[in-house]
Structure 1
Amino acid sequence: MFQFSTIIIAFFIGLIVTPVIIKIIKRTNILDVPGGRKIHKEAIPSMGGIGIILAFFCGLLITMSWEQWEGVRFLMMGVGVMFLLGLRDDMVELTAMQKLLGQLLAICLVVVMGDIRVSSFYGFLGIEELPIWLSYSLTVFTIIGLTNAFNLVDGLDGLAGTLSLISFLFLGGWFLAAGFSTYGMIALACSGGVLAFMVYNWHPAKIFMGDTGSLTLGFVLAVLSVFFVEANGAMLSEAHSMRFNAPITAGLALVLVSCFDTLRVMVKRVRRGKPPMAADKSHVHHFLLRSGFRHDQVALILGGIKFTFLCLIISTSHYSDNVLLPLVLGTVVGLCLTLDAVTLRKVKKIARQSPGVLSLDTPREMDYKNTEKRPELKEEPA
């Protein structure tokens, strides 16, 4: 039971420090100014991830033993590197290459030194143990992709917090029940920090998490998802009540929305002849926002979709990846196409119903038109 106190401690620490961070950022004038792809209408403090990570580390310092810290030291070092990278990027925008090198450093600490990696496909498509070079390469690629996909989904008030909270709560409960208490406490500490942050980030937001939060949380979520897959794979030879027979599909469900939204956007950009990493407003949350939904409604819709898929994975945990993965992928693709079609139709309908700019007559234009229609008064000769 003491392990569950991690989420409570992290929550109250985050609840206390976040208002202080908001005041400090406002005084130093480090604000996220609207414009370009940014959809907020006024300058908002960013770098709210400072409060999340501070709550995360403080919660673990109070509840974890020295032996537990020793066991996850490389993961914690990676979290520290990713936090500093995001903080630097929020203060002085880094180049894509600088960000990639920083991410590779953090990931190599976890994958190479901490030995958290995808080592097998556990019978999916008949593939078992992976060669060591492929294991390292695949894990590094996966964590980079998932980290940046989560970073891209942080586009609305409360959205990144909602999606990550669902995953961290699930992981925290599963790790503790399955006997991986250290990783369970890490997931619960993230849950507490995110929950406290959402008090101030829910629409209308008083603070954004920035890259300080989204890169770090995306990294932790990606690493814990990889460990979750490996832990389930190790249980396949055991009769464990918490085992998922489809570890790859179960791990995918934890990052479903951000992962598929990023892939969907990249495919659409390539089809239009644009670079896949070009910035635009074609993410699913942008479409839903233009369809008339508020920030909080979009967060709840996408959070509900993620929660539904997690429930599906739990209820079908006895199926293997060979059955479940094609089913989930097909369902997601169908859902993406349906969502695209519905939201596009709704956006077009709203555009048709909105009056055009040229059709709006200003009072000055009305006066001018009325003046034109008046008959001219001619002076009569004296």
Structure 2
Amino acid sequence: MFFLETAILIFIGAFLLTYLTIPKIIKVVEHKRLMDDPNQRSSHSLRTPTLGGVAFFYTLVFALFFIRGRDAFDEAMYIIPGLTILFIVGLKDDLVVISPGAKLIAQVLAIAFILANPSFTIFSLNGFLNINEIPFYLYLIIGGFMMLTIINSYNLIDGIDGLASVVGIVIMVIYTTIFYLTEEYFFALLSITVNASLMAFLGFNLSSDKKIFMGDTGSLIVGFVISILTLKFLALRPHAYTELPFLLENAPLIAISILIVPLFDTARVFAIRIANKKAPFSPDRNHTHHVLIDYWGLTHKQASFIIGCFNLLFVMLFIVLGSTAKNLGMVIMLVSVVIILGYIFFKYNYSFSTLKQKILLRRKVNRIKGKVEETNFKRKKTKKERKNLKEEQQEN
């Protein structure tokens, strides 16, 4: 009961703090002319305020102050330095673009604080693919690589209105449930805090007159928290899994299913860029959400909703399967799903020049349709006026 009351207060406080301060951020950004200018890759056509992630940072810091007593290994004091590093780097990247190398170094420093805390140490994979105990140095390699992948994967899906928020909300709901069931209340409250901020931000991100982007400031912070929660989930001791509705050995696959959207999208776009002899981090419009918008004609809201629902359904499917199936069978299924999804999206021609031509052609067709509709409307209006005039003459 005490946890429920605390969770409600944390959620309301985080939601209100984010919701009430984002308009202030918008005013400052507009006044200082720090808005995001659209380019040929952009999914928006108007100059839009960014830096929405600033609200995430201080909301998290405030929340960590109030929930710090529930962290058994003083995790809050290890999270704050990492958050601060990524906040500064993300803020600088939103204002003046920094190199991928500098961003990577900052991420490694932030991750080092988390790996140094004993609460996140993974001692065993609990029989996943017949792997049990793992040495500490291997944990550092696996944990560090995993966190880097998650942070950058989440950063890369922030390409259309609502997507990063919707996917983040789905992930946070799942982790809130997992950590509540395992009685890791500190991490459950951390998930609730981020969830509240994302929900408050989503309304502005989808707004037509008060729109704001979370920017790298926000995506790096949220991605960092997701990576922390994932590492903690995999570091849970065997007895904690007795309360979860899946087998202990299937935990790594459940973690992958929770993060399927950013991980699949990142792997896919990297493969496309490398196949086109480009750098993995070179910008383009090859992301899954761009395909849904450019090729399938969906709106930002529709694409975000579909991807978010897919993420949730995929996790539910793997949790159900993970309650009875052995991990080898689940691995085969996961690989099969990835191959099918890869085929569905790879069958399109993702050449940027071809994509640009198709987008320009679609815009041209829409303009022609608009002119035709306008001409037909004028003709109907003129015809109606002539008819009315003729009727008036007959009456006279």
| TM-score, length of structure 2 as denominator length | 0.82
The answer to whether the aligner puts 1:225 opposite 2:230 as a matched pair is yes
**CA–CA separation in structure 2 for the residues paired with 1:88 and 1:353:** 36
The structure-2 alpha-carbon separation of the partners of 1:217 and 1:114, relative to structure 1 and needing over 3 Å to count, comes to farther
The answer to whether the aligner puts 1:13 opposite 2:32 as a matched pair is no
**CA–CA separation in structure 1 for the residues paired with 2:238 and 2:132:** 12
Tell me whether 39-48 or 242-251 shows the greater mean CA deviation: 242-251
The structure-2 alpha-carbon separation of the partners of 1:127 and 1:83, relative to structure 1 and needing over 3 Å to count, comes to same
Tell me whether 20-29 or 241-250 shows the greater mean CA deviation: 241-250
User: Could you tell me which of 339, 346, 363 is aligned with 1:333?
Assistant: 339
The answer to whether the aligner puts 1:309 opposite 2:320 as a matched pair is no
The answer to whether the aligner puts 1:170 opposite 2:174 as a matched pair is yes
Q: What residue number does 1:83 align with?
A: 87
Instruction: Report the CA distance between 1:53 and its aligned residue.
Output: 2.3
Q: What residue number does 2:327 align with?
A: 321
The structure-2 alpha-carbon separation of the partners of 1:66 and 1:309, relative to structure 1 and needing over 3 Å to count, comes to closer
Paired residue secondary structure (2:169): helix
- The alignment of Structure 1 onto Structure 2 pairs a total of residues equal to 356
Q: What residue number does 1:273 align with?
A: 277
Paired residue secondary structure (2:102): helix
**CA–CA separation in structure 1 for the residues paired with 2:235 and 2:72:** 19
The structure-2 alpha-carbon separation of the partners of 1:239 and 1:114, relative to structure 1 and needing over 3 Å to count, comes to closer
**CA–CA separation in structure 2 for the residues paired with 1:165 and 1:285:** 17
User: Could you tell me which of 33, 36, 54 is aligned with 2:40?
Assistant: 36
Listed as ranges, the matches of 1:90-129 within 5 Å are: 90-113=94-117, 116-129=120-133
The answer to whether the 8 Å contact 1:49/1:211 transfers is yes
Q: What residue number does 2:59 align with?
A: 55
The answer to whether the 8 Å contact 1:75/1:114 transfers is no
Instruction: Report the CA distance between 1:96 and its aligned residue.
Output: 1.6
The answer to whether the aligner puts 1:294 opposite 2:303 as a matched pair is no
**CA–CA separation in structure 1 for the residues paired with 2:278 and 2:51:** 30
Q: What residue number does 1:206 align with?
A: 211
The answer to whether the aligner puts 1:3 opposite 2:9 as a matched pair is no
Instruction: Report the CA distance between 1:349 and its aligned residue.
Output: 9.4
**CA–CA separation in structure 1 for the residues paired with 2:332 and 2:6:** 36
Could you tell me which amino acid in structure 1 is paired with residue 251 of structure 2? P
The answer to whether the 8 Å contact 1:177/1:242 transfers is no
The CA deviation string for residues 50-82 of structure 1, in whole angstroms up to 9 with x for no partner, is 112222333343455376693432123212221
Instruction: Report the CA distance between 1:214 and its aligned residue.
Output: 0.3
Instruction: Report the CA distance between 1:339 and its aligned residue.
Output: 4.2
Identity score, percent: 26
| TM-score, length of structure 1 as denominator length | 0.85
Could you tell me which amino acid in structure 2 is paired with residue 330 of structure 1? S
* Cα RMSD, aligned residues only: 2.8
Paired residue secondary structure (2:108): helix
Instruction: Report the CA distance between 1:189 and its aligned residue.
Output: 0.4
Q: What residue number does 1:216 align with?
A: 221
Paired residue secondary structure (2:146): helix
The CA deviation string for residues 211-250 of structure 1, in whole angstroms up to 9 with x for no partner, is 100011011101111211222x6338x6434554310011
The structure-2 alpha-carbon separation of the partners of 1:137 and 1:115, relative to structure 1 and needing over 3 Å to count, comes to farther
The CA deviation string for residues 277-322 of structure 1, in whole angstroms up to 9 with x for no partner, is 2221111111111121000001001101101111112222323322
**CA–CA separation in structure 2 for the residues paired with 1:250 and 1:279:** 30
The structure-2 alpha-carbon separation of the partners of 1:352 and 1:22, relative to structure 1 and needing over 3 Å to count, comes to closer
Paired residue secondary structure (1:45): coil
**CA–CA separation in structure 1 for the residues paired with 2:137 and 2:53:** 34
